[in-house]
């Protein structure tokens, strides 16, 4: 071979080496042994001009508040993700989904290009990519051993060095070397993933649309994300209207109306309850005679249903439509538990407690009235119950509403609560189909333990919705509520009951999860088709239904550590809803598809 030929061969070999190291990630995830470990981690990502905010949110399953920008003339963003120790691989990984947007090459190549070395496949997925397919995958992340607060996944680029990264992120070179087990700090691999130890949250908050301050990065990157993200519909379809009850719980014990005027009616709390059960607010007290009159002496025509702890009636109380739960006085414990929660906790997606009443042998809780009844009645044989079937958009919106209510009691109340009886019959729908979680009689405070927040208790709830660890150990945690919510999502998809009655009773969750094992993406859903509600009449975006099914599957994982928290569920459902609305907008003129909007959504 001549000299020129040798040079060409050398140049080609170097080029091939550089290309292969940047196109495929030679790094393996961090090993771990504690499969109960869950932490906050960060991922450093340099988006392309085509990767808008909407695309990035979808790629990483996050909301804008989980995205931070680096600034200083760099186009990097830092994405906050929960990281956990995978029980089957014993590696630190975080889950996400990727939507294929073109028919060009294999899924593996497309994912590796999109995530630029951050994604991890346990095997090379060589199947061809198909536009619209949704792929579940893992991203590499890390949990600190305690020497630092966070670890950030970072793909080494040309020009990077351990010294430059240490200066850039304000950490010592030794700490980067230690975390990554680097033998020679002067020898790093371009295209490989390294972990940067951090003591503080990196970057600056993502600039909001109404923020008038200049964006701290070039317009080509971050500003481009904002400008290009223009949903074709108004956000009020998603948020819905805020429905406020006419009467509210108030500290004085008086009945207050919307205009703030006090009723001249003030009553003492019945002795069966006591005066020390309300830490914050005292509910409105009604007389037994008022309750009796409002329900036509508890006539059968006013009976709405029978629950675990009593009967539920419709009533017209002081010119307001209400629901009255009638309980025996022996159920004082459940009665007080529900009042203590609902007099502290107020959210548009939680049913509002208006007041209560008591007689010698009965207790009554008075709630706002949900005109459309329970989600269960709209999913399971709705026509025979006098209801029309719910459209796809309505189902996703209802799921998002309920998720927001559950997230609120898990994350935003002091103290935190676990509901313990999440099911479709306890998700009520108001006149505009806004969902509200109800029935807080089994709600428990959760206390902090070494394994997170938990409450050890006797097993209560409804079979089909009970998490395996709750059945086994009586350990009620936020993640046991997440499991139950996952079952509700399967009900929304399938229209079937949580327990399937056939020759043998099987849970809906086990049946659909088995079907999903044979559905690698949204284009290969034949095994899932038998479990999709025929009332949807194929009027749904297949990629969004697949994403919802995969979210439900994550929620009912046998390992509670691997289940998402409700914040993550809210994020995923928000993205599924936005995508569904955009899909629906392309089908204008189809009255069946737009049934959700016609009925107030």
518 and 402, same structural domain? yes
From 352, 369, 386, the end of a domain falls on 369
User: 322 with 442, same domain?
Assistant: no
Supply the Cα-derived Rg of the chain in whole angstroms: 27
Of the candidate ranges 31-35, 94-98, 278-282, 484-488, the one whose mean pLDDT is the lowest: 278-282
Are residue 333 and residue 201 in the same domain, yes or no?
no
Does residue 159 register a pLDDT over 60? Answer: yes
Taking 80 as the threshold, does the pLDDT of residue 175 lie above it? yes
CATH number, domain of 499, equals 1.10.510.10
Q: Please, which pLDDT band fits residue 8 given cuts at 50, 70 and 90?
A: very low
**Residue 128 per-residue DSSP state:** B
Backbone angles phi, psi at 85, to 5 degrees: -90, 110
Q: How many domains does the chain have?
A: 3
pTM, entire model = 0.58
From 201, 228, 255, the end of a domain falls on 228
Is residue 64's pLDDT more than 90?
Answer: no
Residues 242 and 357 reside in one and the same domain: yes
Give the per-residue pLDDT at 283: 62
- Cβ atoms of 569 and 487 closer than 8 Å: no
- Mapped to the 3 state alphabet, what secondary structure does 153-164 carry? EEECCCCCCHHH
Task: Tell me if 209 is assigned to a ligand binding site.
Answer: no
pLDDT at res. 422:
93
- Coil, strand or helix at 129: coil
pLDDT at res. 346: 82
Residues 276 and 416 in one domain: no
Tell me how far the alpha carbon of residue 286 is from its chain's centroid.
38
Q: At 81, which helix (H) or strand (E)? A: strand 74-85
CA atoms within 13 A on the CB side of 108: 11
- 591 and 532 in a single domain? The answer is yes
Q: Determine the pLDDT at residue 476.
A: 83
Summarised one tens digit per residue, pLDDT across range 191-250 is 999 999 998 899 888 775 544 333 333 333 333 333 233 333 332 222 232 222 233 343
Q: Does 595 or 316 have the greater pLDDT score?
A: 316
Task: Identify the band that residue 105 occupies on the pLDDT scale cut at 50, 70 and 90.
Answer: confident
Same domain, 578 and 473: yes
Residue 410, pLDDT above cutoff 70: yes
* Rounded mean pLDDT, 467-491: 92
The token pair at 415 is 């103290």
Chosen domain end from 318, 348, 369: 369
Tell me the average pLDDT of the chain.
Answer: 76
- What's the pLDDT score for residue 5? 52
Question: Would residue 186 show up in a list of annotated catalytic residues for this protein?
Answer: no
The active-site residue out of 61, 66, 401, 421 is 421
Of 397, 429, 62, nearest to 237 by C-alpha is 397
Q: Which two tokens stand for residue 64?
A: 């804008």
The residues near 14 (Cβ < 8 Å, ≥ 6 apart) are: none
Q: Are residues 519 and 398 in the same domain?
A: yes
Residues 44-55 have pLDDT tens digits of 999 988 888 888
- The model's confidence at residue 112, banded by pLDDT at 50, 70 and 90, is confident
Burial label for 229, CB within 10 Å (0-12, 13-18, 19+), is middle
SS3 374: strand
Residue 272 and residue 399 in one domain: no
- The vertex-478 CA angle with 475 and 482, nearest 5°, equals 110
**What are 324-372's pLDDT values in tens digits?**
989 887 777 777 777 777 777 888 899 888 888 988 888 998 988 998 9
Q: Indicate whether 435 pLDDT > 80.
A: yes
522-577 pLDDT, tens digit per residue, is 666 778 888 999 999 989 999 999 999 999 999 999 999 999 999 999 999 999 99
Average pLDDT over residues 386-391: 84
Q: Do 242 and 223 belong to one domain?
A: no
Based on the fold, state whether residues 325 and 381 are members of the same structural domain. Answer: no
Per-residue confidence (pLDDT) for residue 426, from 0 to 100: 92
More confident residue, 379 or 5: 379
CATH number at residue 328: 3.30.200.20
Residues 387 and 461 in one domain: yes
CA distance 144 to 130: 38
**Crossing angle (nearest 10°) for helices 107-115 and 3-23:** 80
pLDDT at 48: 87
pLDDT at residue 405 above 60? yes
**Cα–Cα nearest to 429, from 461, 406, 395, 465:** 395
Within 10 A of 252 (CB to CB), how many other CB atoms are there? 11
Structural domain containing residue 594: 373-598
């Amino acid at each position: 071979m001549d000299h020129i030929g040798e040079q060409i061969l050398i140049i080609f070999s170097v080029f091939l080496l550089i290309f292969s190291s940047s196109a495929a990630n030679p790094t393996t995830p961090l090993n771990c042994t504690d499969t109960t470990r869950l932490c906050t981690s960060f991922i450093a990502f340099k988006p392309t001009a085509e990767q808008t905010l909407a695309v990035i949110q979808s790629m990483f399953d996050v909301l804008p508040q989980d995205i931070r920008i680096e600034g200083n003339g760099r186009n990097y963003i830092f994405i906050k993700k929960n990281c956990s120790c995978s029980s089957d691989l014993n590696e630190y990984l975080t889950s996400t989904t990727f939507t294929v947007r073109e028919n060009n090459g294999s899924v593996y190549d497309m994912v590796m290009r999109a995530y630029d070395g951050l994604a991890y496949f346990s095997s090379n997925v060589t199947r061809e990519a198909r536009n619209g397919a949704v792929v579940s995958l893992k991203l590499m992340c890390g949990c600190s051993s305690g020497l630092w607060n966070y670890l950030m996944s970072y793909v080494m680029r040309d020009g990077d060095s351990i010294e430059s990264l240490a200066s850039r992120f304000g950490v010592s070179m030794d700490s980067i070397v230690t975390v990554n087990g680097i033998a020679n700090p002067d020898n790093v691999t371009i295209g490989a993933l390294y972990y940067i130890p951090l003591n503080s949250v990196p970057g600056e908050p993502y600039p909001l649309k109404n923020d008038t301050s200049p964006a701290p990065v070039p317009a080509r990157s971050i500003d481009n994300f904002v400008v290009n993200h223009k949903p074709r519909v108004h956000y009020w379809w998603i948020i819905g209207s805020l429905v406020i009850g006419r009467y509210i719980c108030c500290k004085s014990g008086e009945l207050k109306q919307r205009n703030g005027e006090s009723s001249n009616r003030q009553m003492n709390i019945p002795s069966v309850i006591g005066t020390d059960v309300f830490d914050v607010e005292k509910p409105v007290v009604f007389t037994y005679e008022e309750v009796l009159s409002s329900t036509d002496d508890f006539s059968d025509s006013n009976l709405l249903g029978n629950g675990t702890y009593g009967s539920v009636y419709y009533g017209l109380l002081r010119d307001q439509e209400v629901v009255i739960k009638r309980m025996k006085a022996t159920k004082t414990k459940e009665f007080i538990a529900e009042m203590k929660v609902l007099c502290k906790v107020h959210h548009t997606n939680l049913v509002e407690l208006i007041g209560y009443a008591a007689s010698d042998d009965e207790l009554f809780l008075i709630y706002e009235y949900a005109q459309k009844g329970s989600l269960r009645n709209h999913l399971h044989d709705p026509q025979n119950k006098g209801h029309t079937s719910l459209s796809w958009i309505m189902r996703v919106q209802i799921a998002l509403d309920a998720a927001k209510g559950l997230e609120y009691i898990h994350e935003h109340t002091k103290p935190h609560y676990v509901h313990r009886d999440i099911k479709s019959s306890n998700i009520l729908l108001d006149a505009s189909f806004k969902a509200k979680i109800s029935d807080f009689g089994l709600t428990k405070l959760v206390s902090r333990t070494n394994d997170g927040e938990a409450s050890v208790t006797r097993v209560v709830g409804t079979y089909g919705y009970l998490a395996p660890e709750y059945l086994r150990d009586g350990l009620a945690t936020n993640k046991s509520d997440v499991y139950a919510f996952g079952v509700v999502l399967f009900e929304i998809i399938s229209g079937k009951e949580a327990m399937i009655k056939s020759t043998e009773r099987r849970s809906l969750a086990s049946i659909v999860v088995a079907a999903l094992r044979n559905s690698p993406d949204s284009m290969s859903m034949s095994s899932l088709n038998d479990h999709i509600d025929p009332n949807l009449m194929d009027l749904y975006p297949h990629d969004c239904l697949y994403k919802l099914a995969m979210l439900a599957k994550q929620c009912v994982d046998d390992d509670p550590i691997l289940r998402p928290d409700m914040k993550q569920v809210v994020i995923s459902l928000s993205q599924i809803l936005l995508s569904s609305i955009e899909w629906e907008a392309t089908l204008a003129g189809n009255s069946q598809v737009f049934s959700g909007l016609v009925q107030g959504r």
